Amino acid sequence: MSTINFEDGASANTGGVAADRLRSIIERVERLEEERKALSGDIKDIFAEAKSAGFDVKVIRQIIRLRRQEPAEVEEQETLMDIYRRALRM
C-alpha cells in the first residue's frame, strides 16, 4: 500500500505508515527536546546561583539524588557506608 504525500496537508499513507501521524510524533519529540534543553539551561543557572551564594554544588547534587531514592534504600546505603568506613578506619 503506497500513497503519494500531498503538499496541501492531505492525509497520506506510504507503505502502511500514516505520514501525518508520524510527523506529529516527530514534532512532539522535537518540542520536548527543546523544552528539555531550556530546562537544562535553567538548572545550570540555578547551580551557578547556588555556587555564587557559597553552597557546594557537588553536595547539592548528592542531596537531590538521595531525595529521589526511597528512605529505606538511603538508610541501607548509609549503614553500609558506615560499616565500610569503620573497616577502613576512616
* Domain annotation covers residue 14: no
* Domain annotation covers residue 15: no
Helix ranges (H only) for the chain are 19-52, 57-68, 71-87
Supply the pLDDT for residue 17.
76
Supply the pLDDT for residue 3.
54
What the block records as the C-alpha cell of 19 is 505520514
Helix, coil or strand: residue 6: coil
* Domain annotation covers residue 62: yes
Full residue range of the structural domain in which residue 72 is found:
56-90
What the block records as the C-alpha cell of 36 is 528539555
Please give the model's pTM, rounded to 2 decimal places. Answer: 0.64
Q: For helices 57-68 and 19-52, give the axis angle rounded to 10 degrees.
A: 130
pLDDT per residue of the chain (90 residues) written in tens, 0 to 9: 455 555 655 556 667 778 999 999 999 999 999 999 999 999 999 999 999 999 999 999 999 999 999 999 999 999 999 999 999 999
Domains of the chain: total: 1
